[in-house]
Amino acid sequence: MTGRAPSGEGSVYRRESDGKWCAAVTLPSGRRKVVYGVDEKAALKARRALLAEIEAGRPVPLGRTPTLGAYLVRWLDVRIAGEVEAGHLDESTADSYRQMVEGHLLPTFLAKVKINALVADDVRAWQRERLKAISSRGKPFSPRTVGMAHAALRRALNDAMRDEIIGRNVATLVRLPSGQSRPAEQRTEEEMGRVFAEMVADRHRVLWFTMLAFGPRRGEALAMRWSLTDLDASTTALRKQMRRVRGEMDPETGKRRGRLVEKDLKTAESRATLSLPAALVEMLRAHRRNQAADRLAARVWVDPDLVFTTSIGTALEPRNVNRSWSAVCARAGVEGVRLHDLRHAAASLAFAEGASIKEVQSMLRHTRQATTSDLYVHVFESVRRGTADRMDAVLRKFGSAG
């Protein structure tokens, strides 16, 4: 039996080889697309759905529609890899996408859904499943981890839209789980005073006070260079960041060894020349003299331009810096203070000393003022007084400049 369709809508017929009902539709491009059903009614329903997609102006993929999992694998291996090679995407971002896809999307039911059949409720169900799943550490995945996986899915589906594989991105319809970001925990002046006292006596004291003085991120501080630092003018130019990225996989162990690299800062706002408080300038002068003596005594010194180095002039390993900071806080008897919290403290102390939100935003190099006010600025109990000159008073309060 052969069904007749209205003019222009295609034909419906039963295929003799397997008994499936087929409905063919002529696309606006002139090419034909065939949809299938277990009976004539199902084929007609599939055809109506296809015609509705065409009427709405949504792209109609030709050929076999991939599952989300198949699309994601090709997305990583072709599109994302190509963007890295072309210099359009940071390698660490690509690694993050792969980690999220392979760890949180491919192993789930979502990977088996046809990409054009994906609906918002599928993403919601996947999100709930991920929040209940247990990690290899024996703990549920955090909302932030699930949010990062969601972001990778959203980016992949956006690319599928650009390639006209799907008509809309259903991931954008689903809200992220709460807990993606939160203001830093506010510390009392007494607690931070104990931490600052331990900072003064620590071997990385100049690094700690540099991060407190004007709030650079860890990677930015570790990539500071003498050639970009003018102590006479009390300025430093931030251009790079030190980051550990995953390297190639070892064929014998199956593990990917990381490597420390110096990378450009991502945004124009991050690349800036900043004023240094006078107290920090004194610290840096003493640090440069001490480093010069160490360099003369060392058998080898790899990079004489780096401000903060190991005993042989190589860049400091970010994870080792974190461990040293944890030791400082442990000696101070204050738990849960992250190294990044020195950036928060820089903002809060500058604000408490009288700097405006706009001045603090400029010091931290935030694009949006709301980021500064919502996440970083917590006014301590001290009286507002009065961004480099104000921070000079703060540094002299908590540590000597000798």
Instruction: Examine the domain organization and report whether 227 and 278 are in the same domain.
Output: yes
Beginning with the edge strand found earlier in the chain, give each strand of the sheet holding 272-275 in spatial order.
Answer: 229-230, 235-238, 272-275
Q: 62 or 299: which carries more pLDDT confidence?
A: 299
What is the average pLDDT across 298-304? 95
pLDDT at site 366: 80
Instruction: Examine the domain organization and report whether 148 and 231 are in the same domain.
Output: no
Closest CA to 310 of 296, 322, 298: 298
What is the average pLDDT across 50-59? 74
Instruction: Examine the domain organization and report whether 147 and 106 are in the same domain.
Output: yes
Examine residue 297 and state whether it is found in any structural domain, yes or no. yes
What DSSP letter does each residue of 283-298 carry, written as one string?
HHHHHHHHHHHHHHHS
3-state secondary structure of 26: strand
Closest CA to 256 of 90, 150, 98: 98
Q: Are 192 and 184 in contact (CB under 8 A)?
A: no
Q: How far apart are CA 372 and CA 368, in angstroms?
A: 7
What is the average pLDDT across 88-100? 87
Examine residue 47 and state whether it is found in any structural domain, yes or no. yes
Instruction: Examine the domain organization and report whether 169 and 196 are in the same domain.
Output: no
Element (H, E) at 263: strand 256-264
pLDDT at site 239: 93
**Domain containing 93 — which CATH number?**
1.10.150.130
7: buried, middle or exposed (CB in 10 Å: 19+, 13-18, 0-12)?
Answer: exposed
The answer to whether residue 111 scores a pLDDT higher than 70 is: yes
Closest CA to 245 of 301, 317, 149: 317
Least-confidence region, from 3-7, 116-120, 359-363: 3-7
Instruction: Examine the domain organization and report whether 388 and 295 are in the same domain.
Output: yes
Q: How far apart are CA 354 and CA 360, in angstroms?
A: 10
Instruction: Examine the domain organization and report whether 105 and 82 are in the same domain.
Output: yes
Which of 147, 173, 199 finishes a domain?
A: 173
Q: What is the mean pLDDT of the chain?
A: 84
Task: Count CA within 13 A, CB hemisphere, residue 298.
Answer: 17
What is the average pLDDT across 95-116? 94
Examine residue 263 and state whether it is found in any structural domain, yes or no. no
Q: 370 or 49: which carries more pLDDT confidence?
A: 49
Instruction: Examine the domain organization and report whether 232 and 336 are in the same domain.
Output: yes
Say what the alpha-carbon torsion angle 148, 152, 154, 160 is, to the nearest 10 degrees. Answer: 180
Q: How far apart are CA 51 and CA 57, in angstroms?
A: 10
Instruction: Examine the domain organization and report whether 224 and 343 are in the same domain.
Output: yes
- The domain of 82 spans 68-173
The residue ranges of DSSP E strands in 1-126, in sequence order, are: 2-3, 11-14, 21-26, 32-37
Examine residue 250 and state whether it is found in any structural domain, yes or no. no
Instruction: Examine the domain organization and report whether 202 and 312 are in the same domain.
Output: yes
Q: State pLDDT tens for residues 365-402.
A: 887 777 677 666 554 544 344 467 667 777 877 765 45
Total number of domains constituting the chain: 3
Instruction: Examine the domain organization and report whether 307 and 160 are in the same domain.
Output: no
Instruction: Examine the domain organization and report whether 389 and 283 are in the same domain.
Output: yes
Max mean pLDDT range (26-30, 82-86, 105-109): 105-109
Q: Are 373 and 184 in contact (CB under 8 A)?
A: no
Examine residue 119 and state whether it is found in any structural domain, yes or no. yes
The answer to whether residue 305 scores a pLDDT higher than 50 is: yes
3-state secondary structure of 114: strand
With b for 16 or more beta-carbon neighbours within 10 A and e for fewer, the 343-353 pattern comes to bbbbbbbbbbb
Element (H, E) at 330: helix 318-332
Q: What is the DSSP letter of 181?
A: -
pLDDT at site 385: 42
Closest CA to 129 of 113, 114, 115, 150: 150
Examine residue 158 and state whether it is found in any structural domain, yes or no. yes
Q: State pLDDT tens for residues 239-288.
A: 999 988 766 666 666 566 678 888 888 777 788 899 999 999 999 999 99
Examine residue 244 and state whether it is found in any structural domain, yes or no. no
pTM exceeding 0.75: no
Q: Are 284 and 229 in contact (CB under 8 A)?
A: yes
**Domain containing 217 — which CATH number?**
1.10.443.10
Place of tokens 């949006």: 368
Q: State pLDDT tens for residues 134-159.
A: 988 888 999 999 999 999 999 999 99
Instruction: Examine the domain organization and report whether 364 and 324 are in the same domain.
Output: yes
Q: Are 337 and 195 in contact (CB under 8 A)?
A: yes
Least-confidence region, from 69-73, 82-86, 148-152: 82-86
> Over pLDDT 70: what percentage of the chain?
84
Angle between the N-to-C axes of helices 388-398 and 189-201, in degrees from 0 to 180, rounded to the nearest 10: 80
Examine residue 184 and state whether it is found in any structural domain, yes or no. no
Q: How far apart are CA 62 and CA 330, in angstroms?
A: 61
pLDDT at site 82: 92
